[in-house]
Amino acid sequence: MQWQSTDVEVNRSDGTKNSETFTPAPAKDQFQEELVIRPLHSGDIYASFQFRTLWDTDFLQEGQKKVSHYRLFPKSLGQVLSKFSVQELHISFTQGFWRTMQWGQPFIPSPPGAELWVWFHHTVSDVDGNWKELTNVLSGIFCASLNFIDMTNTVQPSASFKPLGLGNATDHRFLRYATLPREIVCTENLTPWKKLLPCGSKAGLAVLMKSEKLFHSSFHSQAVHIRPICQASFFSKSWELRQTLNVVFDHYTSGQGKKEWSLFKMFSRTLTEACPLASSSKVYVDITDNPEGELFELSPATPLLSQAVVLGDRRTYSVYDLTRAETFGQLRSFNLLLRWKGDSGDMLRPLLHAERYVAGFGLQTGEIHTVIYNNHPYRAFPVLLMDSVPWYLQLYIHTLTVTSKSRDNKPSYIHYQPAKDRHRPHLLEMLIQLPPHSMTEVTVQFERALLKWTEYTPDPNHGFYVGSSVISALVPSMVAMSTNFTQDQPLFSSFVPVKEESSYFVRVYTEPLLVNLPTPDFSMPYNVICLTCTVVAVGYGSFYNLLTRTFQVDEPSPPLAKRLANFIRRIRGVPLLA
C-alpha cells in the first residue's frame, strides 16, 4: 500500500528553506468544484459544472509498486490509466448541438454524440491493441456502446489534437481519435459519471444533477478529461481529472417562457452544503453585461466579485463561496435567482464559427460543404480543419476546392490519408488562412458506396452519420490573456493552457451529417421466394397436368327403381336395361 502520511516536510529542490512562506505539505490529492452560470442573450441560460481532482502521483512509473490506495481519484479510472499506459484521455458525451451564433463559445466544446481521443505513453508498443481494449473498458464504465469504435472510425490526426497537458509526445502515432455521432446520451451515462465524483451525488454541487431536468434541455454535454499537469508550486507532475458538465436550458421549454431563472427552476434542487471533501466550492454568475443591474436582477446579492479573462474577453463574475456557512443564509439552502428586467439586445458575434451540410441530390453522389466564418473586422488568422469521413462516402479529393471571398485559397498544409474500404476512414487536415471578415467554403464531392447486406444497421432508412468536422484555431484576443498559471484561477478559465498573450485557443465543431446510402429493400428475398415458388407451382403444375391427365367417361349411377329392376333381370338372366 502506498499510503504516505501527510505531515511530511516539504523539501525544496534548491536546498534552501524559505522561512517566509513555509507552508506544511498539503495532502497528496485535492478536489475542487465550481459552477458557472452565464445568462445568454436569447433568454436561455448556460450552466457549466467543473469538478477537478488533482493527485500528485504517477500512474505510469516503472519499477515501483503500482498505485493501490485511492482516495479522491476514482479507482476505476486510475486502473485504466495504468493498465493501458494512457498519457491523456478525453471523452465526452453530448446530446444536442452547440449553437455558436446564439450562445457564443462554450467553455469546453464537444461534438454531438460520443468523442474519445487518447494520447498513449511513448513506451506503448501496440497502440491499436491498447486502444481496442481501452474502448471496451470505457464502454463498461460509462454504459455507452463505445465498443463500436474500431479501425473503421478511428483516425490519427497529425496536427489537430495536441496534448493539453504535459507531454513530449508529438509523435501522432500515439494519438487515437474517434467519434460516434449516433451515440445517445441518457441517464445511464450520467449515473456512472456521477459515481466517479468523490462526494457522488450526495453533497456539493452534484446534488443539482437530476436527470429529468438535465436532459430536458437544448444542450447537454458531460465529459471526463484526464491529463498530467505541472503544478507550479510543487515542481512535480500531478494528474488532473476534470469532470465537466455543460447544459443550456431553453427558456421556452424549461423556463415556461418567462425570463426568470433560479437554481430550483433549472435543477429542481437547491444547494444545502458544499462537498466536505472539496477544498473549494464556488458558484460564479457572469454579470459582465449587467454592471449597474439594469439588465437583470441577481439575488442573493454578494459582495464577492471576480474578474477572469476567458475566451479572449474580460468577464466579471459574482462569486458565491459554498464553503462559507453564510452563503446558505437562515434557511440553510442556497437558491440563486436571476430576473430579467430589460431587453438584452444582440449578442456580439463570435469571431469564429462554422457550418457544414451535404449538397446534391440522388443516392449516388453528393458534395460536402464546410463553411467557416471569420468575423474579426481586420485580423486574419489560420485555422486547422480536420475532417474524418467514413469509408462508405468515397471522397474525390481532386474535386477539393477552398474559396474565400470567391477567390481560391490554397491551404498551406494538407495532410490526407485516403480511406480503405471497410478498414480505415478518410482523414483530411488542412491549415487554411482565413481573411478578415470573410466566409471560406471548402467543398469536396463524394460517391456513396453500396454496402453488403449484412453491414446495414437494423434501421438503415434512418441514414448514416458522418462525424463533425473539427476546426481548431488560435483566435486573436481582445484582451491580453494571462500566461501565468496560478492555483487561484477559476477552473473554467484554466482548462486550456495559454501559450501567448494575444490569442486564445478555440475549437469549433460543425454539425454531423446524416447521409442516406442506397438501401436495398430487405423484404425482397421473401417476396422473390414467394413469387418464384408461385410461378413455378402454377406453371409446372399446369404443364404436368396437361401431359399426364387422362379423361374417362363416367356414367352416372342409375336411380333406385332402375337398379332394382336390373337386379331382378340379372337373376332372371334377361338382358339389362340401358
Partner 1 sequence: MRIFAFIHLLVSIPHGYSNYVETKAGQFFSSGHTNNWAVLVCTSRFWFNYRHVANTLSVYRSVKRLGIPDSHIVLMLADDMACNYRNPKPATVFSHKNMELNVYGDDVEVDYRGYEVTVENFLRVLTGRLPPSTPRSKRLLSDDRSNILIYLTGHGGNGFLKFQDSEEISNMELADAFEQMWQKRRYNELLFIIDTCQGASMYERFYSPNLMALASSQVGEDSLSHQPDLAIGVHLMDKYTFYLLEFLEEVHPASQANMNDLFKVCPQSQCVSTPGHRTDLFQRDPGSVLITDFFGSVRKVEITKDTINLTSPVDRKKYITGFLCCQTNL
Binding site for partner 1 (CB under 8 A): 95, 132-133, 136-137, 139-141, 143-145, 147-148, 182, 184-188, 191-192, 210-212, 214-216, 457-459, 522
Strand 45-55's sheet: what is its strand order? 154-155, 175-180, 113-120, 86-95, 219-231, 236-249, 45-55, 29-39, 280-286, 313-321, 305-310
Give φ, ψ of 24 to 5 degrees: -65, 150
- Measured on CA atoms in the order 320, 204, 280, 216, is the torsion positive or negative? negative
* CA atoms within a 13 Å half-sphere pointing along the CA-CB vector of 447: 8
CA angle 508, 513, 516 (to 5 degrees): 175
Q: Are 209 and 194 in contact (CB under 8 A)?
A: yes
Q: Are 159 and 412 in contact (CB under 8 A)?
A: no
The one-letter code for the residue type at 308 is A
- Enumerate the H helices of 106-232 as residue ranges: 127-142, 187-195, 211-214
Given the complex with partner 1, which of 62 and 212 has the nearer CB atom? 212
Output the CA torsion 106→111→116→119 (10° steps). -50
CB of 354 to partner 1, least distance (A): 24
Q: Are 25 and 8 in contact (CB under 8 A)?
A: yes
Given the complex with partner 1, which of 167 and 255 has the nearer CB atom? 255
CB of 388 to partner 1, least distance (A): 20
What span, in angstroms and rounded, lies between the C-alpha atoms of 556 and 376?
105
Q: Are 267 and 49 in contact (CB under 8 A)?
A: no
CA angle 75, 80, 86 (to 5 degrees): 130
Question: Of 159, 47, 160, whose CA–CA distance to 107 is shortest?
Answer: 47
CB of 60 to partner 1, least distance (A): 21
The set of cell numbers assigned to 69 is 490506495
What span, in angstroms and rounded, lies between the C-alpha atoms of 47 and 90?
20
- Measured on CA atoms in the order 19, 24, 29, 35, is the torsion positive or negative? negative
Question: Of 333, 322, 215, whose CA–CA distance to 276 is shortest?
Answer: 322
What span, in angstroms and rounded, lies between the C-alpha atoms of 328 and 334?
5
Given the complex with partner 1, which of 137 and 159 has the nearer CB atom? 137
CB of 156 to partner 1, least distance (A): 21
CB of 217 to partner 1, least distance (A): 8
Given the complex with partner 1, which of 140 and 518 has the nearer CB atom? 140
- Enumerate the H helices of 85-224 as residue ranges: 100-103, 127-142, 187-195, 211-214
CB of 12 to partner 1, least distance (A): 39
Given the complex with partner 1, which of 96 and 167 has the nearer CB atom? 96
CB of 137 to partner 1, least distance (A): 6
Strand 365-374's sheet: what is its strand order? 352-359, 365-374, 438-448, 393-404, 407-408
* Paired residues of 445 in beta bridges: 367, 396
Give φ, ψ of 450 to 5 degrees: -95, 120
What span, in angstroms and rounded, lies between the C-alpha atoms of 266 and 269?
8
CB of 207 to partner 1, least distance (A): 12
What span, in angstroms and rounded, lies between the C-alpha atoms of 434 and 380?
6
